[in-house]
Amino acid sequence: MQYDPRHLPSVPVTQAELVHQHDSILGESPLWEEREQVLYWVDIDRGKIHRFDPATRENTTHTLPTKVTSIARRAKGGLIASLKKNFAFFDPVTGQVEMLDVVEDDQPENRFNDGKVDRQGRFWAGTMNEVHIGKPDAGLYRFEGPGRVEKMVSEVTISNGTGWSPCGRIMYYTDTLRHTVFAYDFEEKTGSISNRREFYSVDPSAEGLPDGLTVDAEGFVWSALVNYGRMLRFDPAGKLERMVTFPPTRGTCCTFGGANYDELYITTARECLTPEQIAAQPLAGSVFRCEPGVKGLPETPFAG
Ligand code: CA
């Protein structure tokens, strides 16, 4: 189903509130870590992994010597990450980074972008061309451990939000400059994908782009609509059902967290905003939260 963000249907709206003011360039990859009851998130271009504790409102930061493009939980403790070109393990206690496999070594214009763990514990991360933005020479990779990398989708523009239905048999995948969130049949045992179809798309004549996503406990899909300051919730048939708004126009991604997984955390960005737009949106780059009335699911940790 295609939507024009200038003329969205009338659906229930929740306003998110500011929980952590920050000037991140590209806030991304919000991740609820239930073992610590904190929100991890990244600032891609500055190579920062942030840890926000909602109980104290304290935000602590690690700076890595490379871009950090996505993070996910790891069963053995700590995080798995996609950096600029590498998969990596990261230990937030020691700050130690363990560099793992490289992708697209022969494509110097490309870097990793969003990544997520499937319900069986495999890490999926995709790439983008950051010089020729939108050039369809990026891909989506499945990582099961050192030396176990497989390219699963080719000819991607900007690889972005990925998620799985609660049953695990549907994978949602965002190709941002195709303006589309796709759905695939997902084979849980092998992690293979098939039968790609359009789930939701944005009218290309509008400025809105689909970015990060998460799937809630009811199997509805939350997709960030960049440039419009909205998280859109779709039913499994791709019909817009409700939305969350917040002041910055560049909302990048969202995830559920809190002790009951009933809070939606949202990251935002300053990237691509003019100085005048930043002056008008002083909260761009901050983290927002709301209670939208539905619950999310814990993220499965990376099994390797
Ligand atoms: Ca993104």
Task: Please give the share of the chain, as a percent, with pLDDT higher than 90.
Answer: 100
Q: What's the pLDDT band for 58 if we cut at 50, 70, 90?
A: very high
Closest by alpha carbon to 288, among 44, 15, 37? 15
Helices within 14-94 (DSSP H only):
none
List pLDDT tens digits, range 107-161: 999 999 999 999 999 999 999 999 999 999 999 999 999 999 999 999 999 999 9
Phi, psi (5° rounding) for residue 70? -160, 160
Element (DSSP H or E) covering residue 112: strand 110-117
Q: What angle do CA 245, 273, 157 make, to 5 degrees?
A: 85
Amino acid identity, residue 181? V
Predicted pLDDT at 296: 98
- The CA distance from 266 to 250, in Å, is 11
3-class SS of residue 279:
helix
Distance CA 120, CA 223 (A): 22
The per-residue pLDDT for 271 is 95
Average pLDDT rounded to a whole number, residues 25-41? 98
Cα(36) to centroid(ligand 1), Å: 24
Q: Which of 53, 211, 216, 262 is catalytic?
A: 211
- Could you give the strand order of the β-sheet that contains 123-129, starting from the edge strand earlier in sequence? 110-117, 123-129, 138-145, 148-156
Q: What is the pLDDT of residue 220?
A: 98
Per residue in 172-211, pLDDT (tens digit) is 999 999 999 999 999 999 999 999 999 999 999 999 999 9
126 Cα–ligand 1 center, Å: 10
Q: What is the mean pLDDT of residues 205-222?
A: 97
Note the pLDDT of residue 173: 98
Widest distance between CA atoms in the chain: 50
Q: Which pLDDT belongs to residue 164? A: 98
CA of 77 to the centre of ligand 1 (A): 24
How many other CB atoms are there within 10 angstroms of residue 38's CB atom? Answer: 22
43 is catalytic: no
> For residue 28, how far is its CA from the centre of ligand 1 (angstroms)?
6
CB 3 within 8 A of CB 267: no
Task: Identify the pLDDT of residue 176.
Answer: 98
The gap from C-alpha 65 to its chain's centroid, in whole angstroms, comes to 21
Distance 195 CA to ligand 1 centre (A): 24
Contact predicate 220/241, CB 8 Å = yes
Q: What is the pLDDT of residues 63-79, one digit of tens each?
A: 999 999 999 999 999 99
Strand pairing report for 58-63 and 70-73:
unpaired
pLDDT tens for 260-304 read: 999 999 999 999 999 999 999 999 999 999 999 999 999 999 998
The pTM assigned to this predicted structure is: 0.98
